[in-house]
Structure 1
Amino acid sequence: MMDMSFFAPRYMDIGAGAASRIAVMLGKLGLSRPLIVTDPMMVKLGLIARVTEPLDRAGMVYTVFSETVPEPVDRVIEAGVRLAADLDIDCIVAFGGGSPIDTAKAINILLAAPEGTRMRAFKVPVVADAAALPLIAVPTTAGTGSEATRFTVITDTETDEKMLIGGLGALPLAAIVDFELSMSVPARTTADTGIDAFTHALEAFVSRRANPVSDSYARAALGLIGANLRAVYHEPDNRAAREAMMLGATLAGLAFSNASVALVHGMSRPIGAHFHVPHGLSNAMLLPVVTRYSLHAALPRYAEAARIAGFAQPDDADQLAGAKLVDELDTINFDLGVPTPEAFGIGRDDWYGRRAVMADQALASGSPANNPAVPDAAAIIGLYEAIY
Structure 2
Amino acid sequence: MINRMILNETSYFGKGAVANVATEIIKRGFKKVVVITDADLVKFGVVNKVTQHLDQAQIDYVIYDGIVPNPTIENVEEGVVFVNQAKADCIVAIGGGSPIDTAKAIGIIVRNPEFSDVRSLEGVADTKNPSLPILAVPTTSGTAAEVTINYVITDKQNNRKFVCVDPHDIPIVAFIDSEMMAGMPRELCAATGMDAMTHAIEGLITPAAWEMTDMLHLKAIEVIGHSLRDSVNGDEVAREKMALGQYLAGMGFSNVGLGLVHGMAHPLSAWYNIPHGVACATLLPTIMNYNKDFTDEKYRKIAIALGIQNAELMPLEAVRKAACMAIAQLSKEVGIPATIAELGVKAEDLPKIAEDAFRDVCTPGNPRETSVEEIIGLYQSLM
When normalised by structure 1's length, the TM-score is 0.95
Give the length in aligned residue pairs: 381
Give 3-state SS (helix, strand or coil) of 1:67's partner: coil
Ranges of 4+ aligned residues in structure 1 off by more than 6 Å: none
Structure-1 separation of matches of 2:218 and 2:247: 13
Equivalence for 1:330: 328
Assess if the C-alpha contact under 8 Å between 1:200 and 1:261 holds in 2.
yes
Residues 1:111 and 2:110 are matched in the alignment: yes
Equivalence for 1:233: 232
Structure-2 separation of matches of 1:86 and 1:132: 17
Superposed CA deviations along residues 126-181 of structure 1, whole A, max 9, x for unmatched, are: 35564441111100110001100000000112101100001113211110110111
Equivalence for 1:38: 37
CA shift, 1:356, in A, is 2.2
CA shift, 1:125, in A, is 4.4
Equivalence for 1:273: 270
Residues 1:305 and 2:302 are matched in the alignment: yes
Q: Write the letter of the residue equivalent to 1:242.
A: R
Assess if the C-alpha contact under 8 Å between 1:143 and 1:193 holds in 2.
yes
When normalised by structure 2's length, the TM-score is 0.96
Superposed CA deviations along residues 98-125 of structure 1, whole A, max 9, x for unmatched, are: 1111111111122233368321111014
Identify the match of residue 289 of structure 2 among 289, 292, 298.
Answer: 292
Equivalence for 2:123: 124
Structure-1 separation of matches of 2:221 and 2:313: 17
CA shift, 1:28, in A, is 2.5
Structure-2 separation of matches of 1:312 and 1:210: 26
- Flag the 1:366–1:206 CA change in 2: closer, same or farther, 3 A: same
Assess if the C-alpha contact under 8 Å between 2:218 and 2:301 holds in 1.
no
Equivalence for 2:376: 381
- Flag the 1:126–1:155 CA change in 2: closer, same or farther, 3 A: same
CA shift, 1:312, in A, is 4.8
- Structure 2 residue ranges without an equivalent (≥5): none
Equivalence for 1:153: 152
Structure-2 separation of matches of 1:30 and 1:217: 33
CA shift, 1:342, in A, is 1.5
Q: Percent identity?
A: 33
Assess if the C-alpha contact under 8 Å between 2:303 and 2:311 holds in 1.
no
- Flag the 1:129–1:196 CA change in 2: closer, same or farther, 3 A: farther
Equivalence for 1:54: 53
Structure-2 separation of matches of 1:166 and 1:44: 32
Q: Write the letter of the residue equivalent to 2:239.
A: R
Assess if the C-alpha contact under 8 Å between 1:303 and 1:319 holds in 2.
no
Structure-1 separation of matches of 2:375 and 2:366: 12
Structure-2 separation of matches of 1:142 and 1:129: 31
Structure-2 separation of matches of 1:272 and 1:344: 10
Q: Write the letter of the residue equivalent to 1:372.
A: P
Structure-2 separation of matches of 1:126 and 1:240: 40
Structure-2 separation of matches of 1:49 and 1:312: 45
Superposed CA deviations along residues 251-292 of structure 1, whole A, max 9, x for unmatched, are: 100110011111100110000000111000000110011000
What value does the CA root-mean-square deviation take over the aligned residues? 1.5
The equivalences for 1:188-267 within 5 A come to: 188-234=187-233, 236=234, 238-267=235-264
- Structure 1 residue ranges without an equivalent (≥5): none
Assess if the C-alpha contact under 8 Å between 2:33 and 2:60 holds in 1.
yes
Structure-2 separation of matches of 1:379 and 1:31: 51
- Flag the 1:123–1:227 CA change in 2: closer, same or farther, 3 A: same
Assess if the C-alpha contact under 8 Å between 2:124 and 2:166 holds in 1.
no
CA shift, 1:294, in A, is 0.2
CA shift, 1:332, in A, is 2.0
CA shift, 1:78, in A, is 0.4
Please identify, of 321-330 and 244-253, the stretch whose mean Cα deviation from structure 2 is larger: 321-330
Equivalence for 2:69: 70
Structure-1 separation of matches of 2:48 and 2:140: 16
Give 3-state SS (helix, strand or coil) of 2:265's partner: helix
Structure-1 separation of matches of 2:309 and 2:121: 41
Please identify, of 4-13 and 18-27, the stretch whose mean Cα deviation from structure 2 is larger: 18-27
- Flag the 1:176–1:277 CA change in 2: closer, same or farther, 3 A: same
Q: Write the letter of the residue equivalent to 1:386.
A: S
Structure-1 separation of matches of 2:59 and 2:36: 16
Structure-1 separation of matches of 2:147 and 2:217: 13
Equivalence for 1:370: 365
Structure-2 separation of matches of 1:85 and 1:376: 44
Equivalence for 1:10: 9
Assess if the C-alpha contact under 8 Å between 2:112 and 2:127 holds in 1.
no
- Flag the 1:118–1:43 CA change in 2: closer, same or farther, 3 A: same
Structure-1 separation of matches of 2:194 and 2:359: 24
